[in-house]
Amino acid sequence: MLALRFKILIVSVLFLTLATAFSAFAAESASVLEQSMSETLDLWRAGRYEQLFDRLAHRGRTSREAFVNKMADSTVRPACCWQKLENFKVLHEKQSEATVYATVGLEGTMISSDSSTREFKLTHEEGLWKMQLADVLSIAGLTGKKSRHSTKKIRSSSPHHH
């Protein structure tokens, strides 16, 4: 009788340990993702664009030099301290990809207390969770029509203009 009670106790303890470990893993995983994103934003804020480039995924055909020049042209950077990254939630996570939802506080935009609240895809590469290069350019206001600092010249139909 005592042996049976002891076995039930052991099984119960094991089950509770596994359940706790699983929820701890989920929380740890979220904090690893958040920490990773936070470190990436810190590099950007500090103007360390070469290291920032190395921390980004899906760089496509963007060279390090082109990225550094683009980022140096932008006045936008992540805000400091608690405003840098808020409302962080993991929407879903696989082994090498995660989608998170967060508010990134910004400085240097037209609006005094600006932020970008949206989904971000993170990719696990080289042992790190990396933000996408396109997301950083987008928040910095360096892509598409939203860009306030566009250096594109309007193309003329003249054949001498290239």
Contact between 56 and 125 (Cβ < 8 Å): no
> Which CATH number is 136's domain given?
3.10.450.100
Residue 109 has pLDDT above 90, yes or no: no
Is 70 part of a structural domain of the chain?
A: yes
* Token pair belonging to 61: 């055909």
Q: Tell me what pLDDT residue 2 has.
A: 72
Where is average pLDDT lowest: 48-52, 108-112, 130-134? 108-112
Domain around 32: 2-143
Residue 135 burial (10 A CB sphere; 0-12, 13-18, 19+): buried
State the total domains in the chain: 1
Radius of gyration of the chain (CA): 22
Q: What is the pLDDT of residues 5-32, one digit of tens each?
A: 767 767 666 666 655 656 666 777 889 9
Q: What is the pLDDT of residues 29-88, one digit of tens each?
A: 889 999 999 999 999 999 999 999 999 998 889 999 999 999 999 999 999 999 999 999
Q: Tell me what pLDDT residue 133 has.
A: 97
Is 8 part of a structural domain of the chain?
A: yes
pTM comes to 0.74
Task: Give the residues across from 121 on adjacent strands.
Answer: 99
Is 150 part of a structural domain of the chain?
A: no
Contact between 100 and 117 (Cβ < 8 Å): no
Is 151 part of a structural domain of the chain?
A: no
Contact between 81 and 16 (Cβ < 8 Å): no
CA distance 68 to 65: 5
Is 92 part of a structural domain of the chain?
A: yes
Q: Tell me what pLDDT residue 82 has.
A: 92
